[in-house]
Structure 1
Amino acid sequence: MGVTGVASILPPAILLLHLSLHVAGGHLHPLILVPGIDNSRIEARLTDAYLPSNSSLCGANRPEGWFRLWKDRLHLTEPAVRCFAEQMALHYDPDADDYHNTPGVETLASHFGSVEGFRHLDPDDHMEGLSELATLLERLEKAGYRDGEDLFGAPYDFRHGLAADGHPSRVGTQFLRDLTALVEHASAANGGLPVVLVTHSLGSLFALHLLNRNPPHWRHRFVKQLVALAPPWGGGAWAAFVFASGNLLPGVKPSTLRAVSRSYESLSWLLPSPKHFGGKPLVVTPRRNYSATDLPEFLADVGCPEAVRPYRSRVLPVAGRWEPPGVPVTCVFGTGVPTPEVFLYGDGFEGAPEIVCGYGDGTVNLQSLLAVEEEWSGVPEQPLRVVKVPNATHGSILVHEVTWGLIMEQVSGDDDPHVSSFAV
């Protein structure tokens, strides 16, 4: 079924003019950006309770007051990266059934409500260049959006996630409360117009939880549309790789950041869901193979037994299961890009694996990107559009002309409400 409406029939230059006319006429819907993993600045403060494991390295010349922990390139070089790993780590408390910082480390996601923190994650790194998210911001501002007036940002502590009912997630739940208040504020500041939520990657998961944890009358009153870009609804094989080998940052040994990466609640949340990945091998070793149904054993075998209990009790009951929110949802993602699907290890997990690729957006596997389409097919009360963009990557989808057209269609109010799935 094809898609009609302004985005499908007008070229980008005319779309921009069309949107500008709506801005002048006061018809612009407020827009809230919820970024993906790693795209929020995390600030930290060290209290007297912080007892570094290496006092001569991490205790000497420690910052006074709040400082930028993520992202600061100086923290990601030796030997400072060892302090970064300790200060950025989370710890699961089985008694409290929740995650907390290293004792003595306080953290916050800065610039909540604003998009300012998305322009440059590391403002001191002049070689960083403009990110795709920053490029999208520039285009929105050229179209007439103004930060804090009708354009808002919702950064969050991407180390945390959300858990199944009955399990606390203090930080993640507080973010949803703050985001709920921001949605209401954005609508009230713009004459009561409902908000368009534009989310990327992990931010899409939080946004769908936001909708489903608020009552239906709230959703229909305050949210016009959720536009989810590259949403990892069913997790991804790459998360298993990070648990096994560690995160990949330029100039940093993967093993240096392996422990801190494993500690993130969000990484467990992003493991491939058994519902969508099934029994197909994801990790292959000489001793045994691991599929999405074997992840508890996999976590124990890679040396992370402390992650098994929270994965089983907090993550597995909700992995890949998404209730339709009843408000319109548009999913936009790339296809046809080689995407890691199977990791072949030799003796142990210390060496780099051989990687076998399938297809997706280069980061998220296709079956994960398609998960809600499968979940919600046959649900007539759920308006859903699924837009597949050939050769668009996980990051480039943010600045693709198709994405831009769909966003402008929503904020200008010219959307077509029917349900469809199509490829560009």
Structure 2
Amino acid sequence: MIRAGVLLILCLSVCKFCDAEKRLSPVIIVPGLGGSRLEAKLNRTDSVHFLCRKTTTDYFSIWFSFEFLVPFVKQCWMDNIKLTYDNETRTTNNHPGVDIRVEGFGDPKYVEWLDSEQKLVGVFNTMAESLVELGYVRNESLRGAPYDFRKGPSESGRYFENLKSLVEFTYEINGDRKVTLLAHSMGAPMSAIFLRRQQQSWKDKYIRGLISLNGVFAGSVKALKTYVVGDDLNEFFIPESFLKTLQISSSSLPLLMPYSGLWKDRILVETPSKNYSMDNIEEFFTDIGYATGWEMWKDQLPHLTLEPPGVEVHCLYGTGIPTITQLLYNQPSHFPNKPAFKYGAGDGTVNLESLDSCSRWTKQQKQKVYVQGFPGMDHNQILSDSRVLKYVSDVLSNYLQ
């Protein structure tokens, strides 16, 4: 009788746990800048170097690829992945003969790891494992929504349509349970833009909430630094000066610039002869010799807003890491390629003002907004920090439906 009683208790406990698993809010991961795999297929008539292949029979990984670290070969890589801007169509395009597509939409492994071996370059891998331990199942209750991070929201209409379909499908296969969007860095404003495009009735039916991890909701001064010297994405092995060519050709970079609504007339770039703020940002682009940047910024301007997304938000971010707040030029000859930097509060990449801009939504929408800072945590560390893993797990556990 005792043994039977113990077995009965164990069975009830297991069933209760299984029931909890069935009621977890499904999660769709929206990665940040550089957090999606890209594939390319070539059918080119020219190349920048005789070592460059012009044609391929199938798609191959172009991001992430270590080709950009190999002399000569990195020229081929850059010429294949960079974009060109068409001032008439207001769009960016690949080099003729280069077809680039996003790999693995819907499958979380493509946002967990950037390398196909799933060993070297992890992104959401630790977070995903934490969710699996909580009871999530990949490709069922845990999904991934990678995108072409080179493209700004003005060129992401199809992505937003696909994301909407993925939300609805994930909702349906999980017993009509509302979906939680889990976004990092640039993925947070992309998620917010996506949500603003939807009817409130649709959000009320399909969305449980948005969990933002170091969301760049109001841009970052570091984006201006990228236009003049590039950025290594906080990875020591990536040469920032080389990546600059790709970065400034991307229409997504203006999305990460300081938003005028927050930064207003604050001086962001200081030189002996002229200062630059968002009020005269066109002059900045002209003076650095990249007027195309101004054109691409205008294309994204309608999306550079701090309007609330209309869903419950958990806004998590790191603090206490020196973050660029101003570009300084002490000598005219140093402009624009040799800036010095002034530092302030943030996560090392995004300024605190931007990270915390989500707090204004507490008074702008009826849905709840939770804001939590984590001292000593940098921009990418948030994806694996134990404090954040626990917070996310606790939130999702409380979302049991």
TM-score normalized by structure 2? 0.88
Measured in 1, the distance between the counterparts of 2:98 and 2:345 equals: 40
Measured in 2, the distance between the counterparts of 1:275 and 1:252 equals: 32
Measured in 1, the distance between the counterparts of 2:200 and 2:353 equals: 28
Measured in 1, the distance between the counterparts of 2:319 and 2:68 equals: 35
Q: What does the per-residue CA deviation read over 1:241-274, in whole Å, with 9 as the maximum and x for residues that have no partner?
A: 0101123365665443322211001111111112
In structure 2, what residue type is equivalent to 1:141?
V
Measured in 2, the distance between the counterparts of 1:156 and 1:334 equals: 24
The answer for the alignment partner of 1:323 in structure 2 is 307
**CA shift in 2, pair 1:207/1:25, >3 Å:** closer
- For residues 111-190 of structure 1, the aligned pairs below 5 Å read 111-123=104-116, 128=120, 131=122, 133-163=124-154, 169=155, 172-190=156-174
The correspondence for 1:272, drawn from 219, 239, 258, is 258
Measured in 2, the distance between the counterparts of 1:99 and 1:303 equals: 19
- Pairs aligned (count): 383
The answer for the alignment partner of 1:311 in structure 2 is 297
Measured in 2, the distance between the counterparts of 1:293 and 1:406 equals: 39
Cα deviation, residue 294, structure 1: 2.4
Pair 1:395-2:364 in alignment: no
The answer for the alignment partner of 1:67 in structure 2 is 60
Q: What does the per-residue CA deviation read over 1:103-142, in whole Å, with 9 as the maximum and x for residues that have no partner?
A: 211111101101112333124596x36x352111111122
SS at match of 1:412: helix
In structure 2, what residue type is equivalent to 1:293?
D
Cα deviation, residue 303, structure 1: 1.9
Q: What does the per-residue CA deviation read over 1:181-212, in whole Å, with 9 as the maximum and x for residues that have no partner?
A: 11011110110000011110111111111211
Measured in 2, the distance between the counterparts of 1:259 and 1:75 equals: 12
Cα deviation, residue 402, structure 1: 3.7
| Of 196-205 and 73-82, the range deviating more from structure 2 | 73-82
SS at match of 1:387: strand
CA RMSD of aligned residues (A): 2.4
Question: Residues 112 and 123 of structure 2 are in contact (CA less than 8 Å); yes or no, is this contact kept in structure 1?
Answer: no
Measured in 2, the distance between the counterparts of 1:46 and 1:236 equals: 35
**CA shift in 2, pair 1:252/1:370, >3 Å:** closer
Question: Residues 82 and 256 of structure 1 are in contact (CA less than 8 Å); yes or no, is this contact kept in structure 2?
Answer: no
Runs of 5+ in structure 1 lacking a partner?
Answer: 1-16, 164-168, 416-424
SS at match of 2:99: strand
Cα deviation, residue 316, structure 1: 2.9
Measured in 1, the distance between the counterparts of 2:39 and 2:335 equals: 32
| Of 251-260 and 362-371, the range deviating more from structure 2 | 251-260
Question: Residues 296 and 311 of structure 1 are in contact (CA less than 8 Å); yes or no, is this contact kept in structure 2?
Answer: no
| Of 345-354 and 326-335, the range deviating more from structure 2 | 345-354
Cα deviation, residue 349, structure 1: 4.3
Measured in 1, the distance between the counterparts of 2:291 and 2:114 equals: 33
Q: Percent identity?
A: 31
**CA shift in 2, pair 1:263/1:381, >3 Å:** same
Measured in 1, the distance between the counterparts of 2:262 and 2:252 equals: 18
Runs of 5+ in structure 2 lacking a partner?
Answer: 1-12
Cα deviation, residue 173, structure 1: 0.8
The answer for the alignment partner of 1:37 in structure 2 is 33
Question: Residues 210 and 314 of structure 2 are in contact (CA less than 8 Å); yes or no, is this contact kept in structure 1?
Answer: yes
The correspondence for 1:386, drawn from 333, 354, 371, is 371
Cα deviation, residue 334, structure 1: 1.1
SS at match of 1:68: strand
Which protein, 1 or 2, shows the higher relative CO under an 8 Å CA cutoff with sep ≥ 6? Answer: 1
Measured in 1, the distance between the counterparts of 2:387 and 2:174 equals: 26
Measured in 2, the distance between the counterparts of 1:70 and 1:328 equals: 33
The answer for the alignment partner of 2:10 in structure 1 is none
The answer for the alignment partner of 1:8 in structure 2 is none
